[in-house]
Structure 1
Amino acid sequence: MATWQIRSWLSQTLRKVATSSLHSAPDSAAAALSLIRSQPSQYVIASVVGRKYILTPRDILTVPRLKDVCVGDVLHLRDLHEIGTREYTLRGDPLPRNHIKVEATVIEQTKGKMEVVFKKKRRKGYQKTIKNKHPYTRLRIGPIQFTNLPLSS
């Protein structure tokens, strides 16, 4: 055999090994969630204030100011796009809400750093300095809870 044939055969064999999965694909979303639940650390991709964030338990998330919340309030994250671990991922728009529960606690209402904007019109003598601090809300992400999972048989 020529060297190019050996390389071709070797690359095909390696491709087959690399694409063959060690884990079988689950039959339903509930089965996938039970596999994800069995893993040590999970993450979730959720929309908060119109932006998607990758969240894990105990994360601190800074978002633009939420007006109707106070420090200590608990928010339930409803727009979940993906949940997963290192080995398993479940994507969906939306994910089944009755099986996954993620909460965020408001820990702080704060302001960002001082931003200074200087405006000037040439040859007119017009100068204006605008100072602004943007308000932010800080959230602590709670544990990812799995509820109402059917028993796997």
Structure 2
Amino acid sequence: MHAVMETGGKQYRVTTGDVVQVEKCVGQVGDKVEIRSLLLLQDDQGVTVDPEQIKTAKVVGEILQQGRNRKVVVFKKKRRKNYRRTQGHRQAFTRLKILEIVK
């Protein structure tokens, strides 16, 4: 069974047993997370995209890791004005293991 879930403004195609890296979710390592924002379900009977049929479905996952990505350096400059600004950013992420897709 496949599902397309939406979390953190992004969409992910997942199956049972997958490990996905998503935007930061609230919780500690080892906690279970339920994601109810599904856009598509695919199983043996076919593909379901009707929101009325999907609204009872959910994806259950376990938090494997909470972390931050590598630093992205932002550099601004205005020529001939001696204006330079350097700033760094590290985006937080959560690594999830998909335990099951409940229809």
Place the TM-score, normalised by the shorter chain, in its bin: 0.7 to 0.9
Structure with more of its chain in strand, by fraction: 2
Describe the superposition over 1:20-52 as per-residue Cα deviations: whole angstroms up to 9, x where unpaired.
xxxxxxxxxxxxxxxxxxxxxx10122222332
In our comparison, the structure showing a higher alpha carbon Rg is 1
Separation of aligned partners in 1, 2:27 and 2:49: 30
**Post-superposition, which runs of at least 4 consecutive aligned residues in structure 1 deviate over 6 A?**
none
Identical positions, percent: 28
Does the Cα contact within 8 Å between 2:42 and 2:48 map onto a contact in 1?
Answer: yes
Structure with more of its chain in helix, by fraction: 1
Unpaired runs of 5+ residues, structure 1, are 1-41, 147-153
Matched, 1:122 2:62: no
Separation of aligned partners in 2, 1:116 and 1:101: 37
Unpaired runs of 5+ residues, structure 2, are none
Aligned residues: 102
Does the Cα contact within 8 Å between 2:36 and 2:55 map onto a contact in 1?
Answer: no
CA pair 114-88 structure 1, distance change in 2 beyond 3 A: same
Aligned to 2:70: 113
Separation of aligned partners in 1, 2:36 and 2:63: 16
Normalising by structure 2, what TM-score? 0.82
Aligned to 1:71: 29
Match of 1:90 among 21, 43, 48: 48
Matched, 1:133 2:90: yes
Aligned to 1:45: 4
Q: Select the structure with the greater relative contact order (CA < 8 A; seq sep ≥ 6).
A: 2
CA pair 128-50 structure 1, distance change in 2 beyond 3 A: closer
Normalising by structure 1, what TM-score? 0.58
Structure 2 residue identity aligned to 1:75 = V
Separation of aligned partners in 2, 1:50 and 1:129: 27
